[in-house]
Structure 1
């Protein structure tokens, strides 16, 4: 027993050194690595302001020609940073169909441990994306997993390891789930940690207490569950990679003790974006030593459907501008950069009315700007028509469109971002 306790103590100390000892990124990174200086991003000694974009589907393309065509279109639009998924996972029962449809996948789950696919239908496709980004001078934000079920996110870990009846939030607390997640993170980080094409590692897309599964009692306002998970995982990534930046990938939810809400049908509704129910605490999370910059998203069309109605004094435009200002102020207090990492509205008229105001507001506060999502044209695989998964498909050579995609032939919307890119370039001298 004594020997066991000594070994347990040594193991605890080693784990503590790896996951609890904060280590800031090296102040002298290799050439081509983005770093921070106060509230600014810096690249090779110069300020790095940018317009970026999101494209989860680029690693899902099956031909190098279409991947290159997409990056060429991004470069022509002035895109400097691309955020994409560093995960694509399936259940073993989906494997035959995935091979038949040529679906990109990196993990296969058949038991409490996943099997890596680093072959030509797996991580070799991500290799090509990372390499192509460098060819076109575009940096990559790579996300390790998803809060949502799409393309095999965190709930595959929950389902296979946590077991039946597990709530979504056990992903953040279950030791075996955390170990499995870290095993995958280590695989990805070690694969690309010497690459200057990586802008940052992102711990999770839109972490919340609940996902497609319900949340549990351990992740409630004030519990700090996400805060501690962010800290643990950011420190783990830093132990693997001393140079690349790290961020949360969160939507920017606040946890304000003073009630924030709105009246609806004569009832006061506590606002999910401010009351801590999501699990995030943007102000506190941003203070973590190895979280190098903040991220937040804007989707008021979905968050406030009961208010977004004709005759209401609520407007998507005004709400988004306020949300941008709040995050700019929070980041300024901490002295770190912030990125408007995702935003979108549906409807071309909405886009042409709202996007200029949101982008101008973000520009005025020194943000990085990354709309959801980039639309590519002229893709040729399978004749330009291919169902990928879910409702995602290439149609007549156009990349998947969830209602938020913007394409070059939508000139007014396209120009909002290309003009902003020119402004950001001018500030990066």
Structure 2
């Protein structure tokens, strides 16, 4: 893949660089992070960081556990945490949610959704922002999810478009867009004066299809469906919040004129991360005027199970290094900061062996932010250290949810990789 990275990238950037250049206000309030070329800036000083993900923080109902988590995160030198600004349920799920003290912000029924601003509603997100500020941590807040987890785009589709609708109508149906914007406006207006918000994020991992609903033929490579939605929604957020940064939340898939290929079952297939099949066009999306910085994700094991098997010559490590380089080069040419926002490997040995090279490559290529998925907290006390949330997520014996990618504080060999990187980023911010 390495040779193809730069040839294909240069070809595709010819289109991307014709997109509008970024605009940013010169009168950003004190304490708000902004951009300065390919870097972030805080009150006139560079702001480079190591961050992490914790979707489950607003699910905690024990305030001491929230503070303990932020205290441990801050002690590791981590400056930014990404968390969900959405938690939605169907009305039929309400009794269950109340029985387990589950945080939820939206309740969907036949007429749309109602907002929960109560003690297990947005007051939980309020408290997460309050606690983050105490520990000098900033938050990336995501508005909805491409996937079923915690009530994402498919709830809008199911309730407002009805049976038989495809996932991608979320990006085009006026009624759905209006409903999404109503929720976004609620969240943005609630926190738009807070410097604790690092950035708003339009959607977690937008694709033409979800894990429940398929895509229509209209959402095809080159259709621009996601890119036009990114443009519309980033313009909308900017219209109600002139100061906070905005990003997509996407996985960073490319739409290259000459996408990478590989052999599978004696057939040469194009790589979905480079042929536009997922829906994104990273270069074009990054050029949008109100997308202030680029983000991308990386789950090589999950994406290529047909290549990653014992005895194959597929290298998870090398593929990741090329993916990092491709995004760094794109961001450099477009002239905006780049953040690897999620990445993960299952298996402690894999993390120990491969994370050092991946993290070092991000540092060498001047990533403004490096964020791993996900933070693992120990010694949580909620419900005696055992509390179900939803799906398979739970606090078990005091440990936060473990999806196999989770890095816990007692895994010191891996955690040290990030604390050392945080020290490097702190030096760059001096």
**Shorter-chain TM-score above 0.5:** yes
- How far does residue 28 in structure 1 lie from its aligned partner after superposition? 1.8
Partner of 2:255: 255
Partner of 1:58: 57
Unaligned runs of at least 5 residues, structure 2: 1-19
- How far does residue 60 in structure 1 lie from its aligned partner after superposition? 0.2
Q: In structure 2, how many angstroms separate the alpha carbons of the residues matched to 1:24 and 1:256? A: 26
- How far does residue 306 in structure 1 lie from its aligned partner after superposition? 1.1
Partner of 1:365: 365
Partner of 1:388: 389
Partner of 2:404: 403
SS in 2 for 1:221: coil
SS in 1 for 2:133: helix
SS in 1 for 2:82: strand
Q: In structure 1, how many angstroms separate the alpha carbons of the residues matched to 2:161 and 2:68? A: 41
Which gives a bigger RCO, structure 1 or 2 (Cα 8 Å, sep 6+)?
Answer: 2
Query: Which runs of structure 2 are paired with 1:189-200 in the superposition (5 Å)?
Result: 189-200=188-199
- How far does residue 24 in structure 1 lie from its aligned partner after superposition? 3.4
SS in 1 for 2:388: strand
| Residues 105-133 of structure 1, C-alpha deviations (whole Å, 9 max, x = no match) | 00000124200001111000000001111
Q: In structure 2, how many angstroms separate the alpha carbons of the residues matched to 1:373 and 1:25? A: 30
Structure 1 residues 175-184 or 406-415, which shifts more? 406-415
- How far does residue 25 in structure 1 lie from its aligned partner after superposition? 3.5
Instruction: Decide whether the 8 Å contact of 2:22 with 2:288 is kept in 1.
Output: no
SS in 1 for 2:263: strand
Partner of 1:9: none
Partner of 2:13: none
Q: In structure 1, how many angstroms separate the alpha carbons of the residues matched to 2:205 and 2:22? A: 24
Instruction: Decide whether the 8 Å contact of 2:55 with 2:82 is kept in 1.
Output: yes
Residue-pair matches, total: 409
Structure 1 vs Structure 2 CA RMSD: 1.1
- How far does residue 23 in structure 1 lie from its aligned partner after superposition? 8.9
Partner of 2:176: 177
SS in 1 for 2:214: coil
Query: Which runs of structure 2 are paired with 1:110-129 in the superposition (5 Å)?
Result: 110-129=109-128
TM-score, normalised with respect to structure 1: 0.94
Query: Which runs of structure 2 are paired with 1:187-336 in the superposition (5 Å)?
Result: 187-212=186-211, 213-336=213-336
Instruction: Decide whether the 8 Å contact of 2:22 with 2:287 is kept in 1.
Output: no
Partner of 1:337: 337
Partner of 1:148: 147
Partner of 1:36: 35
Q: In structure 2, how many angstroms separate the alpha carbons of the residues matched to 1:118 and 1:360? A: 43
- How far does residue 259 in structure 1 lie from its aligned partner after superposition? 3.6
| Residues 355-410 of structure 1, C-alpha deviations (whole Å, 9 max, x = no match) | 10110000111111000000011110111011111100101111110001111111
Unaligned runs of at least 5 residues, structure 1: 1-20
SS in 2 for 1:227: helix
SS in 2 for 1:217: coil
- How far does residue 217 in structure 1 lie from its aligned partner after superposition? 1.4
Partner of 1:163: 162
Q: In structure 1, how many angstroms separate the alpha carbons of the residues matched to 2:105 and 2:366? A: 36
- How far does residue 265 in structure 1 lie from its aligned partner after superposition? 2.7
- How far does residue 22 in structure 1 lie from its aligned partner after superposition? 10
Q: In structure 1, how many angstroms separate the alpha carbons of the residues matched to 2:111 and 2:416? A: 48
Instruction: Decide whether the 8 Å contact of 1:25 with 1:238 is kept in 2.
Output: no
- How far does residue 314 in structure 1 lie from its aligned partner after superposition? 1.2
SS in 1 for 2:372: coil
Instruction: Decide whether the 8 Å contact of 1:283 with 1:330 is kept in 2.
Output: yes
Q: In structure 1, how many angstroms separate the alpha carbons of the residues matched to 2:382 and 2:46? A: 38
Structure 1 residues 307-316 or 149-158, which shifts more? 307-316
TM-score, normalised with respect to structure 2: 0.94
| Residues 172-211 of structure 1, C-alpha deviations (whole Å, 9 max, x = no match) | 0000000000000000000000000000000000000000
Partner of 2:76: 77
